[in-house]
Amino acid sequence: MIYRKNNQLFRRNDKELLLVEPWGKNSFRVRATQRSAFLPDELSALLPVQETEAEISIDGDRARIVNGKLTCQMMEDGILQFTDRKGKVLLQEYDRTRSMYEGSGKFASALEIVPRTFMPKAGADGYKLIYRLEANEGEKIFGMGQYQQPYLDMKGCVVELAQRNSQASVPFLISSRGYGMLWNNPAIGKVTFGKNLTEWIAENTKQLDYWITAGDTPAEIEEAYADAAGKVPMMPEYGLGFWQCKLRYQTQEELLEVAREYRRRGIPVDVIVADFFHWPHEGDWKFDKDFWPDPAAMVKELEEMGTKLMVSIWPTVDGESENYEKMREMGYLARSEYGKRLGQIGNACFFDPTNPDARKFVWERIKENYYKDGIQIFWLDEAEPEFTGYEYEHYRYFAGADLEVGNMYPKAYAQMAYDGMEEAGQENIVNLLRCAWAGSQRYGALVWSGDIDSSFRALRNQLAAGLNMGLAGIPWWTTDIGGFHGGNIHDEGFREVLVRWFAWGCFLPVMRLHGFREPFKPALSESGGGKQISGAENEIWSYGDRVYEICRKYITLRENMRPYVRSLMKAAHEKGTPLIRPLFYDFPEDEKAWETGDEHMFGPDVLVAPVLYENMRERSVYLPEGSWRNINDGECFEGGRTITAPAPYEAIPVFVKAGSEVEKMLIP
């Protein structure tokens, strides 16, 4: 039976309840369940429904709902088809039954494969969900978050819907056919964008839930998604410049001396970082005073130099922590299904940010031990979280089993700090996280790409990862310049990786140097904040004079671009616009732009062609229509063609639109 209730279109057929309803301009939210009712929205990434009138018509066993540029046809057997305002099919459920549909025709198949398959879990009210959609020939798919592979176009890929160190599942996609889709389900699973079908799988869930929108351009689709799932705050001024970081400054004096040296050299540093294990025990959430004796004085001195202090926060709680027993007693810790809780990571366990009371408890410790000393930017590390072996079936949260809700952990973790900082009166909140899920952006999440290795191969992967994160609705994204693991500061091969990465980092949303450099430095003690080793020096003067001058040049370029970067941050805040994006975002009518995956736009006026291979001293660059100037030599080119651009060791090819404001900032 198909029926209308207010502005919603329902279909009840035996054990399945299906709902299609408008959710913002040109958009629908679709839900289906085999339970008695739909879930409350605690697990949803979407903001509350935006009032939008839809046209609904019901004709017996068929129905049609129209919301602006998007139409949903509900067929006799409940099969859904989405079309644009011209009637082009954007998306259609995969149906291989005796009454399957193709276009306006009705056919038959002996396969008996339905698009929405709920496989019950014996003795429980959860299901394994398989959702099948028709594959569209020639379609390109972008977004989905951050994956360590070099493919910008995700068509043909199998994508794990799970969080890992350096992997962030943010399941919003933009299609070259003119639609966007959010898989609004935090369950562990996977999606296959195959040639013959698209198949979404949730390993343990209670309902199908997704959101779909149509638009004439990628920007229109992206902005509709930002309206539905939220936008980043306005990036504060200290997010626009250079951030200095390493694993790990071992003492307060060491960190201050690095900041002083940058100051002596006249090099501005917006943020410097106190990394992990500055605490007595994991879960104490405070400095070890033996090595960090006066945090308030440290913050004051840094502020006088124009530098903010960011402090690493881990969600881990050691059994020896002063907070462990209280958190265990109150149910604030993630649970292991079998065996001991301690050992989820090393000798510790994770706190449970899906529990609102646990979020408040942890924030109060952070507020007392860091925030009151003037520290107002945090590095929320281990945000996946990094369970040993990622045995998703072995853990449980306040909100449900890991298999059902696990992907929302980084969003809830970001919310913990954001809510506390907002309640304290802070505006323009930004915190650095190693992971994200849909909606994380509205909690001030600046995501970095995790503990990647120091290689050109890893650099190539970060280009695809960063562009797809932006399209997935996470405009604040960065990466460890030079990679995290494996870079020896005396190795010339690594220095080349660092130089190329640093130049590219100048044109990322946040320019941040970090890494666990070799040769390692020994621990300072056998306990507390001194027991962890450190990496080698990672300041820009640590790599010799030639590298130093290149790095200094790009920090200066970043400073010169500050007004331009500020305008990009404003667009991200107001419209959800990614700062870095593929060429097709700004040139959607250019077919070549849809094929170009090894360069990108930094805002509307800067085209960046990073050098992604060792010993490369020139590279081909596609320039879309318009006039473009090479910032390295000032040469002007007419676009709509591919050129060969010089790429000396000292510079990567970067082009600006002739006559733009940023041209004056980058070319004297």
- The catalytic site residues sit at 381, 384, 451
Cβ atoms 611, 649 nearer than 8 A: no
Backbone angles phi, psi at 280, to 5 degrees: -65, -45
Type of residue at 461? N
Residue given tokens 């990394």 in the structure block: 275
Contacts of 407 (CB under 8 A, 6+ apart): 161, 162, 163, 169, 186, 187, 188, 437
Give the integer Cα–Cα distance in Å for 168 and 147: 7
Residue 289's nearest CA partner among 535, 533, 528, 531 is 528
Q: Which helix (H) or strand (E) holds 257?
A: helix 252-264
> Judging by beta carbons within 10 Å of its beta carbon (0-12, 13-18, 19+), is residue 427 exposed, middle or buried?
exposed
Q: Which helix (H) or strand (E) holds 222?
A: helix 218-229
The phi-psi region of residue 603 (left if phi > 0; otherwise alpha if psi is between -120 and 50; otherwise beta) is: left
Give the integer Cα–Cα distance in Å for 101 and 117: 18
Cβ atoms 583, 622 nearer than 8 A: yes
Residue 349's nearest CA partner among 310, 321, 330, 312 is 321
Paired strand residues for 101: 106
> Judging by beta carbons within 10 Å of its beta carbon (0-12, 13-18, 19+), is residue 552 exposed, middle or buried?
middle
| Measured torsion, CA atoms of residues 357, 362, 363, 366, in degrees rounded to the nearest 10 | 170
Characterize 497-536 residue by residue with b for buried, 16 or more Cβ atoms within 10 angstroms of its Cβ, and e for exposed.
bbbbbbbbbbbbbbbbbbbbbbeeeeebeeebbbebebbb
